[in-house]
Amino acid sequence: MLILTVKFKYRLTVGIQKRGDSVAKLQKYIERKTNPEIKKLADTLLKAARDNNAPLWKDVARKLLRPTRKMAEINVSKIQRYGGNVVIVPGKVLAAGKIDRPVTVAAFNFSAKAREKIIRAGGKAISIGELLESNPDGSGIIIME
């Protein structure tokens, strides 16, 4: 996959996006994490990616294993603007903005207000593990970060 990156003013560089880390490397990242929930979830996602031949779950696991300061924090307004019917956030969903359409949002963590807004709009606020159980092949899911 080619990615265009604008650097400085007018210099354009073309690079190849790295496809992802190996499973062995991700296992080392799992060992370094101190949050037992993230460790268990990342291990489950890697197994699901391998068993179901669904690279989406490996990508979500890789994003969960980032340092905490680099984890995604998404507002419901961004989900309203860019999200599809099923959205996964490998981080926290925050309550800034409005949401007025039903969306199924799976995230590692929700703020109380964000969960309330999503449910009030007719959507679902579920954990990543629940989404994995209901859609093991990962089809039709958008990753937001």
Q: In angstroms, what CA-CA distances link 124 with 24, 88, 94?
A: 34, 12, 15
CA distance 76 to 117: 8
pLDDT tens-digit readout, 18-70: 455 677 888 877 787 788 898 899 999 999 999 999 999 999 999 998 888 88
Which residue segments constitute the domains of the chain, with CATH numbers given? 20-143 (3.100.10.10)
- 3-state SS of 16-49 is ECCCCCCHHHHHHHHHHCCCHHHHHHHHHHHHHH
Chain-centre distance for alpha carbon 76: 14
* Confidence (pLDDT) at 19: 55
DSSP per residue, 84-130 = -SEEEEEEEEE--S---S--EEEEEEE-HHHHHHHHHTT-EEEEHHH
What pLDDT shows up at residue 1?
A: 41
Q: What integer pLDDT is reported at residue 52 of this predicted model?
A: 92
Residues facing 106 on adjacent strands: 88, 126
For residue 97, the model assigns a pLDDT of 94
- pLDDT tens sequence across 1-16: 433 333 333 333 333 3
Angstrom distance (rounded) from CA 145 to CA 143: 7
pTM for the whole structure: 0.80
Structure letter (DSSP) for residue 140: T
φ, ψ for residue 99, nearest 5 deg: -140, 130
